[in-house]
Chain A
């Protein structure tokens, strides 16, 4: 099979596009969001996501979420191979709709928090975290 110069270039381009994997992760994140909200619109409101601006070690990044009146809060790391981080469901005895934990981040990326409110609406916020050393074993 003979390839012209033009065809070779096109092939190279196609290969580069395939290797740009983050697109897949973003699609997975969108699926997760759709599964959580059921396709409802997400507004903004009284939700706080506390995350460091710069995290030296992506293996343990301390984050905190707070959304007064929320039933549950989902946290997503948009740049991770698997964007899902976890969901906090608050019960009747929760003192406040807030929680903090430590998460893994594969690299510099946006962390997203979506809260489901008591009235069924959804609000979100996001925060960019710069990661010096990624937390995915690489």
Chain B
């Protein structure tokens, strides 16, 4: 497992029903591209997060396939519709099989 992986997510606490909100996510991860070499000239093996999924109450918001060209500490900003109160679930899938999850509740009025 890549060490020190910490997801950070910014979601407003409240919204009116049907409103479109902006979500920002950041996860600390080295995203080793597999192109870099160490001091001895050996290739550092690729180790990245390859997929990022956001769901709201079980319904898909965005599903991103990621390649090594995504920068260190992958950052995403996108918009979502909030039809009712509920929970956003954010999931990152690592190359090594690890899955990082975090969730945020939102009140819709």
Contact = CB atoms under 8 A, between A and B. Distances in A.
The answer to whether A and B assemble together is yes
A8 interface: no
A1 interface: no
Interface string A86-101: 1111111111101111
A86 B56 contact: no
Given A101-B75, A136-B33, A96 B63 contact: no
A94 B67 contact: no
Interface in A14-39: none
B65 interface: yes
A85 interface: yes
B62 A100 contact: no
B100 to A, nearest CB: 17
Interface string B62-80: 1111111111101111111
Interface residues of B, number: 33
Nearest to A80: B69
A25 to B, nearest CB: 12
A59 interface: yes
Contact of A99 (B55, B60, B64, B69): B64
A91 B55 CA distance: 9
A60 B72 contact: yes
A94 B80 contact: yes
A110 interface: no
A93 B81 contact: yes
Nearest to A136: B35
A103 B65 contact: no
Nearest to A85: B69
Contacts of A64: 77
Contacts of B70: 85-86, 101-104
A112 B70 CA distance: 15
Interface of A: 59-61, 64, 77, 80-82, 84-96, 98-105, 135-137
Interface of B: 20-22, 33, 35-37, 54-56, 59-72, 74-81, 83
Closest 5 A-B residue pairs measured CB to CB?
A91-B60, A95-B79, A137-B36, A95-B20, A102-B71
Given A89-B63, A93-B81, 14 more contacts: A82-B35, A86-B64, A86-B70, A88-B63, A93-B59, A95-B79, A95-B80, A98-B79, A99-B78, A100-B77, A101-B74, A102-B71, A104-B68, A137-B36
